[in-house]
Amino acid sequence: MAIPDYQSIMLPLLKFTGDGKEHSSREAVEYISKLFNIIEDEKRKLLSSGQQPIINNRTGWARTYLKKANLLESTKRSYFKITPLGLEVLKKNPKEINVKFLEQFPEFIKFINLKKTDTEQPKEEIEKYTQTPRELLEMAHGEIKRNLAQELLNTVKNTSPEFFEKLVVDLLTKMGYGGFLPDASEITGKVGDEGIDGRIKEDKLGLDVIYIQAKRWDVPVGRPEIQKFAGALLGQRSKKGIFITTSIFSNGAKDYAQSIDAKIRLIDGEELAELMIDYDVGVSKIKTFEIKNMDSDYFIEE
């Protein structure tokens, strides 16, 4: 069964605490998972950031909203129980509990309107959400990143071959190759390069060299190009290379790169754009948002 949205979890979660006992966040997740018949593979699915299981996130937000309406209360770190008001709600046997239902409680209205600005979503829009606020934020961030990646890739394709080769070396340097060595990297040039566009020291001590091939292409890179690069590596008595393109690699190219002794890392246009964003090459930060959690340990009294 698919993971329920956080509003669908609210009523079952409140019923779970109806025994008046103290319950842990982990117990709540296990209860919701069993109630909705969520299989193990679904339970392991993570948010786009990869930092938290989706079911944990949605159960956590359902708990938070019920707390803001004063239907649940925290007892100690990661533990909570139902409040007298929560018990009264259960006695009325509501068919469902969602954001609209919680708006009858003044405490929840204060929470929704807390530091509200003209740019924030109105209450009626919040009621439509099936994703938690964190999921929505990560989805928006992902969309912005995808659009930026496409814009970057289109721009890179219109640069000169020489600039593209320099960009590749700049990126690898930002990724930590070469370290602080003054001759950590270089562009080899077009004459007598034997199929190699650049080289970069693998580590800060310069104990090994990685050779680079950079193709600013629109057509897929096939097996013959990888074979030529492997031959160039052999001529340099090296077994390490990076082949970067603005297009894609054919299946034949991928299979060949995996079948030979030399280690050739293939980076296509999509991955190139993502790496440029991650390592701030050709992009600049315009705004940073921080997501913080309460430090429960701080409030533990000795």
Half-sphere exposure of 180 toward its Cβ, with a 13 Å CA cutoff? 0
25 and 115 co-located in one domain = yes
Asked if residue 51 belongs to a domain, the reply is yes
CATH number at residue 216: 3.40.1350.10
67 and 170 co-located in one domain = no
pLDDT one digit per residue (tens) for the chain, 302 residues = 689 999 999 999 999 999 999 999 999 999 999 999 999 998 988 887 777 899 998 999 999 899 989 999 988 878 999 999 999 999 999 999 999 999 999 988 888 776 454 445 544 444 445 677 777 787 777 778 888 888 899 899 988 988 998 899 889 988 888 754 445 555 554 434 556 888 888 766 667 889 999 999 999 999 999 999 999 999 888 889 999 999 999 999 999 999 998 999 999 999 999 999 999 999 988 777 777 766 655 665 55
Please tell me the predicted confidence (pLDDT) of residue 115. 43
121 and 170 co-located in one domain = no
Burial environment of residue 113 by CB neighbours within 10 A (0 to 12, 13 to 18, 19 or more): exposed
Overall number of domains in the chain:
2
pTM of the model: 0.59
Q: Which domain holds residue 222?
A: 155-278
Instruction: Give the residue from 229, 257, 241, 244 showing the smallest Cα distance to 153.
Output: 244
Say if residues 211 and 244 touch (Cβ distance below 8 Å).
no
Q: Say whether 222 sits in a helix, a strand or coil.
A: coil
Q: Say whether 133 sits in a helix, a strand or coil.
A: helix
DSSP codes, 186-231: EE--SSS-TT--EEEESSTT--SEEEEEEE--SSPB-HHHHHHHHH
Say if residues 123 and 36 touch (Cβ distance below 8 Å).
no
112 and 197 co-located in one domain = no
Say if residues 241 and 265 touch (Cβ distance below 8 Å).
yes
Asked if residue 290 belongs to a domain, the reply is no
Q: What whole-number distance in Å separates Cα of residue 189 and Cα of residue 13?
A: 65
Instruction: Give the residue from 20, 22, 105 showing the smallest Cα distance to 68.
Output: 105
Please tell me the predicted confidence (pLDDT) of residue 147. 82
Say if residues 12 and 38 touch (Cβ distance below 8 Å).
no
Burial environment of residue 260 by CB neighbours within 10 A (0 to 12, 13 to 18, 19 or more): middle
Asked if residue 147 belongs to a domain, the reply is no
Asked if residue 108 belongs to a domain, the reply is yes
115 and 192 co-located in one domain = no
170 and 273 co-located in one domain = yes
Q: Report the Cα 55 to chain-centroid distance in Å.
A: 16
Q: Report the Cα 110 to chain-centroid distance in Å.
A: 31
List phi, psi (to 5°) of 237.
55, 40
Please tell me the predicted confidence (pLDDT) of residue 190. 47
169 and 225 co-located in one domain = yes
Please tell me the predicted confidence (pLDDT) of residue 200. 86
